Amino acid sequence: MFPVEFVIRGYLAGSGWKEYKKSGTVCGIKLPEGLKESDRLDEPIFTPATKATDGHDINIPPEEAARIIGKDWADAASEAALRVYARGREYAEQRGVILCDTKFEFGTLDGTLILADEVLTPDSSRFWPADQYEPGKGQPSFDKQFVRDWLETTGWDKDSPPPPLPDDVVAKTREKYIEAYRKLTGNRDF
């Protein structure tokens, strides 16, 4: 497995939005001026992150990912990630869901690029209901953003172990994951 996460962003949210507000960039990639939180980007972008063994992953420029794993592998994996994101975004849009961003993990097996770990789940992706989409603010979501938002209210320093999740936060997160599953699959039997 590569020690780099392949994050693809189609919209400006999360840590990308935070960086953009400060510098007009995301992972060192210059974006147009005047974008608002949750704006759709003209083209999805590859914004890698290092895989931290503990704590939070760190966003890095694409050039740094290439330095870490080699340009050929970084190019192949980022191109694959962009293709999978595009397919997932199209699939989600047909079901009334926006795929804001997602992360993929790649590695090699016998000299062949492989996609591993979860793909396009609420743990690895930010999903928004299309019928409630309103650029200029954070969006309601069907993913772990609910947990992130709750953690922001606790005063947690992000360096120590996180506080235990209350039962209501766990239950609400489960509801959001089930809602994403139902919207994306059309299956109500869960």
Residue 31 — φ and ψ, nearest 5°?
A: -110, 160
Residue owning tokens 């039997």: 189
Examine residue 22 and state whether it is found in any structural domain, yes or no.
yes
Cα–Cα distance for residue pair 113/134, rounded to 1 Å: 37
Dihedrals φ, ψ of 97, to 5°? -125, 140
Mean pLDDT of 51-67: 84
CATH number of domain containing 161: 3.30.470.20
Residue the block writes with tokens 């930010």: 126
Do the domain assignments include residue 51? Answer: yes
Residue range of the domain that includes 52? 4-185
Position 190 in a domain: no
User: What distances in angstroms separate CA 126 from CA 33, 39, 96, 102, 103, one per listed residue?
Assistant: 23, 14, 14, 6, 9
Pull the structure tokens for residue 76. Answer: 């192949």
In 18-161, DSSP assigns E strands to: 25-26, 29-30, 40-46, 49-50, 58-59, 97-109, 112-116, 125-129
- Rounded to an integer, what distance in angstroms lies between the CA atom of residue 23 and that of residue 173? 32
Q: Is-contact 65 56, C-beta < 8 A?
A: no
CA 36 vs. chain centroid, Å, equals 18
More confident residue, 188 or 90: 90
- Structural domains in the chain (count): 1
Q: Under a CB-based contact definition with an 8 Å cutoff, are residues 58 and 84 in contact? A: no
Close Cβ partners of 170 (under 8 Å, ≥ 6 residues apart): none
- Mean pLDDT, residues 169-183: 89
Q: 91 pLDDT exceeds 80?
A: yes
Chain segment 148-169, per-residue pLDDT in tens: 888 888 989 888 888 999 999 9
C-alpha–C-alpha distance, residues 29 and 103, integer Å: 17
Q: Which two tokens stand for residue 61?
A: 């420029």
Residue 117, domain member (yes or no): yes
Residue 14 belongs to some domain of the structure:
yes
- pLDDT tens per residue, range 16-56: 999 999 999 999 999 999 999 999 999 999 999 997 666 56
pTM recorded for the entire structure: 0.89
Torsion angles phi and psi, residue 32, rounded to 5: -60, 150
Q: Is residue 25 part of a domain?
A: yes
Give phi and psi for 67, each to the nearest 5. -65, -40
Coil/strand/helix, residue 143: coil
